[in-house]
Structures are given as structure tokens and as C-alpha cells.
Amino acid sequence: MAALMNDVLNNDHLKRLPEDVTVPGGRPERGGVLHFGAGAFHRAHQAVYTDDTDWGITVAAPRSREVIDALAAQDGLYSVATLGPGGSRYRVIGSIVDTLHVATETERALDLIASAQTHVITLTVTEKAYTDPAGIPGLLAAGIARRAEQGGPPLTILCCDNLPDNGKTTRGAVEPLLSGAARTWADGHVTFPSSMVDRIVPASTPATYDRAFEHLGVVDAAAVEAEPFTQWVIEDDFAGPRPAWGATFTVDVAGWERLKLRTLNGVHSTLAYLGALADIETIAGTLAMPGARNFAERLIAEQIAPSFTAPDGQDPLRYGDDVLERFANPGIRHRCLQVAMDGSQKLPQRLFATIADLAAADIPRELIALPLAAWTRFCAGTSDSGAALPLDDPLSDVLRQSLAAAGGGPAARIDAILGVRHVVPESVADDHELRLAATKWLLDLDRHGVAPTLESI
């Protein structure tokens, strides 16, 4: 413990910490985890779970090096502020022992993937990263090939992105890029467990760093803020050793993924598009609009919950109530525009899967057509007040061109969005009832805007 305090106190950037700040119980003496995606979520989720073990993480940044440079300058130390009803609690995390910039250190990245010291690779690289063979999937495949050549030990690749069957998705992105011997080796030595990850972690802003400075008394350029809730459900399919994470290990994660992606993330995206259109900055602010909570509760009870079977012991309605309480947390300033980005990569699992299952069960789909209408209007890029809305989406050109070609009529615009294949499944694109309901909602949004539409529900 004394050594740890020395570590923290000797660090140039994190010293003289107030007594209410939790500090690491020691710096890990070993590595073992290689993580890709140096974003806010990793720092407030997997790195925190790992901080409770004796394993260490090398964090690799695929693109911008801003975060890893900040971490490196602070000896890997940074703070996570938990923003609860009673105020903020700060904890310094010590599990990050090294950093790596993939674009400029590709050889080192491959060596680390191949290294016998690396047992688990974790990923938070956003949903779209799995569709780019030249990106992370290609890097992993090349690293696995090197590991195979060297006859390295088994390896676990653990996706922590918000995707359904995320282990299978990762395997599906990497395996086709392996050739011959490497593929045979990977079959016997590499596993891709699925995992459900949950903690709301908004992007850090200058205000985040100001609050950290005010609380810690030192500059922390890698600070993150998060809600108190945290959850990690992992398919117990590790090829080799793993850290003693305080997660739930299970044989089947699919039910947990559906519960979370459809309920939490589905409602999150819904509020994000409605809020952005209404010129509201945050998810909490959107949920506070008159009628919004009633709509969200009905969406969960009447559309989302009946679309799937919850895991044993989970009540989707209670889960949904808890989610709405979490969204209402005023400390979490999660911007609608952050949640709204990459809709084409998120809505298949957050919205369209729900719609498809409701249609298959012959359950009416009127309420769930509203988020589809809101996304359609959002993609056109103008809010209810006439302000410009950014469309930060890898398919932005396709979406905007389809809408432009459709002209101004709501039915044609809904058809244009439903016609974007690879995003909207065929059964949803052909869903006549959904199309009519979404057209009606889009007409309401065009004529009256979000606020009166929500109040009318």
C-alpha cells in the first residue's frame, strides 16, 4: 500500500490527492491484456474491472493518439468520476501499464498480438470498425498469423462493443482474413467470447477536465466521468488465463445482449433523435420534456419488452424503469448528438430487430415507428428550429442522397430510408403497417415538431 501511495505521489501529474479519492491498491506487475480503442468507455469500464485484479493493460489507439499521449504523460494513471445522486466520487485507476499508437507502431501492435505475454485482447472500437477489413479485423488477422507462426499460446479476443453476438461478429470479421495454416491454428487456439457491457460514459469535455482539476487538485488530461451503474456479462469461453474480473460469467450472453441493446440502447437512440430534433442538448434533458417519459415507458412496455424473452430472473419492465432512472441522472451530460452518431450501424440491433420480431409475432408496431420517423427526419439534417444537424455516420452520403431523391413527401422519405439495404432488413423494409405508421409520425414531426408530438401520445 505504501509503495502504491508512493507511486501515485511520485507521479508528476497526480500528487497531493485529497483523502476522499480512491487510489489503486498497487500497480500491476504483469501485463496480459491488450486493448484496442482508447476511448472513454474502456477507461471507465474494463480498465476499472482490471484495476481490481493484478493484471495490466496495454492500451492501443487505432486512430487519434490524443488519449494515449495524455495517459503516457501520466504514467497510465487517470481518474474516473462516478456521478451519483449524492455528488461525485473520484477513483484513480492504475491498470493501464503501457500505450501504443497503431498507425505509427503497427509492427509493435502485431508483435503484441503475437506475444506469449498477451492472453486477452479486448476491443471497444465502435460498431463500424468491424465492417472494415483494412482496419482492426485485418490487424488482428495479421497478428494471429504471426502468433501462429511463432507457435504462441492460446488467445482470447473479447469484443466489448454494443453489437449483438459480438463475439461471433468479431470472429466473422477476422476469420475470413486468415489464410491456410493461420486459420487452422486459430480454430484450435483463439476464442471469441461474446459479452454484454453496460455503463453510461459520455465523451469527456473541457468541463470534465475542469471538474477533475477542481476535485483532484492536479491536471488529469485523461479524466472520464461515468454513472454509478456498471455491468459486464461475459460468455465463459476463454482460450487461456484471464484476469479475475468481477464480471458475470455465463454460457449464454445472447439474452443479456438483447435485453440491453433493445431496451437501453433502443430507447437511448430514440431519445437522441427526438432530442436532437427538438434542439435539446442531452438525453436527460430530452427525457424531461413533457410526454417523453410516458412515451419511453410505453415504448418499453408495449413494443420492446414483448419482442424478446428476457434472461432468467430479469423483468424487462423493471429493467426499463431502471434504465430511465439512469438516463435521468443530471450529472451524466450525455449529448444527444453523441448517441445519435452512426445510426446506420446501431439501429439494426437497437430498433430493426425489435420491429422484425414484433411483426413476426403479429404485434402492432405503431409506437416503435416514431423512432424510425425521427431518425428519417434527423438524417435530413435540420432541427425543429431550423438549425443544422450533423450526420456523423459512415453511410451519411447514401442516407442523404436517398432522402434528397425522395423529395419532400413523408411516405417517399420513409420508403427511402427503409430502402437502405444492409441497414434495414428485408422483412422490415417490406413491413406495410410500419411504413404507414412511420409516415404518419413523420407528418406530425414535420408539421408540429417533437414537443407537441410527444405531448400528444
Ligand X SMILES: NC(=O)c1ccc[n+]([C@@H]2O[C@H](COP(=O)([O-])OP(=O)(O)OC[C@H]3O[C@@H](n4cnc5c(N)ncnc54)[C@H](O)[C@@H]3O)[C@@H](O)[C@H]2O)c1
Binding site for ligand X (CB under 6 A): 37-42, 61-64, 124-129, 132, 135-136, 161-162, 197, 199-201, 203
Q: State the amino acid at position 14 in one-letter form.
A: L
Residue 121 site contact among ligand X, ligand 44H, none (CB < 5 to 8 Å, cut-off depends on kind): none
Q: Which is nearer to ligand 44H, 109 or 323 (by Cβ)? A: 323
Q: How far apart are CA 128 and CA 366, in angstroms?
A: 29
Say if CB 36 and CB 63 are below 8 A apart: no
Among residues 91, 82, 49, 32, the alpha carbon closest in space to that of 247 is found at 49
Q: Which is nearer to ligand X, 71 or 125 (by Cβ)? A: 125
User: Smallest distance, Å, CB 247 to ligand X?
Assistant: 14
Quick check: 225 binds ligand 44H (CB under 6 A)? no
Q: Which is nearer to ligand X, 46 or 307 (by Cβ)? A: 46
Residue 135 site contact among ligand 44H, ligand X, none (CB < 5 to 8 Å, cut-off depends on kind): ligand X
Residue 102 site contact among ligand 44H, ligand X, none (CB < 5 to 8 Å, cut-off depends on kind): none
Using the rule CB under 6 A, give the single segment among 49-57, 240-248, 262-270, 422-430 that binds ligand 44H. Answer: 262-270
Quick check: 95 binds ligand 44H (CB under 6 A)? no
Q: Which is nearer to ligand X, 197 or 278 (by Cβ)? A: 197
Question: Helix crossing, 266-277 with 316-327: angle to 10°?
Answer: 40
Using the rule CB under 6 A, give the single segment among 173-181, 250-258, 260-268, 287-295 that binds ligand 44H. Answer: 260-268
Per rule CB under 6 A, count of chain residues that contact ligand 44H: 10
User: Smallest distance, Å, CB 272 to ligand 44H?
Assistant: 7
Quick check: 268 binds ligand 44H (CB under 6 A)? yes
Using the rule CB under 6 A, give the single segment among 172-180, 195-203, 239-247, 441-449 that binds ligand 44H. Answer: 195-203
Q: Which is nearer to ligand 44H, 34 or 267 (by Cβ)? A: 267
Using the rule CB under 6 A, give the single segment among 137-145, 194-202, 233-241, 353-361 that binds ligand 44H. Answer: 194-202
Q: How far apart are CA 18 and CA 105, in angstroms?
A: 37
User: Smallest distance, Å, CB 151 to ligand X?
Assistant: 29
Name the residue with cell 425489435. 354
Residue of the chain from 7, 198, 220, 225 that contacts ligand 44H (CB under 6 A): 198
Residue of the chain from 140, 200, 271, 305 that contacts ligand 44H (CB under 6 A): 200
Q: How far apart are CA 24 and CA 28, in angstroms?
A: 10
Within 337-356, the residues that bind ligand 44H by CB under 6 A are 339, 346
Within 391-450, the residues that bind ligand 44H by CB under 6 A are none
Q: Which is nearer to ligand 44H, 74 or 263 (by Cβ)? A: 263
Quick check: 119 binds ligand 44H (CB under 6 A)? no
Residue of the chain from 265, 282, 354, 383 that contacts ligand 44H (CB under 6 A): 265
User: Smallest distance, Å, CB 257 to ligand 44H?
Assistant: 11
Q: How far apart are CA 40 and CA 93, in angstroms?
A: 13
Residue of the chain from 162, 169, 195, 439 that contacts ligand 44H (CB under 6 A): 162
Q: Which is nearer to ligand 44H, 35 or 346 (by Cβ)? A: 346
Question: 96 φ, ψ to 5°?
Answer: -90, 115
Residue 265 site contact among ligand X, ligand 44H, none (CB < 5 to 8 Å, cut-off depends on kind): ligand 44H
Q: Which is nearer to ligand X, 38 or 340 (by Cβ)? A: 38
Binding site for ligand 44H (CB under 6 A): 127, 162, 198-200, 264-265, 268, 339, 346
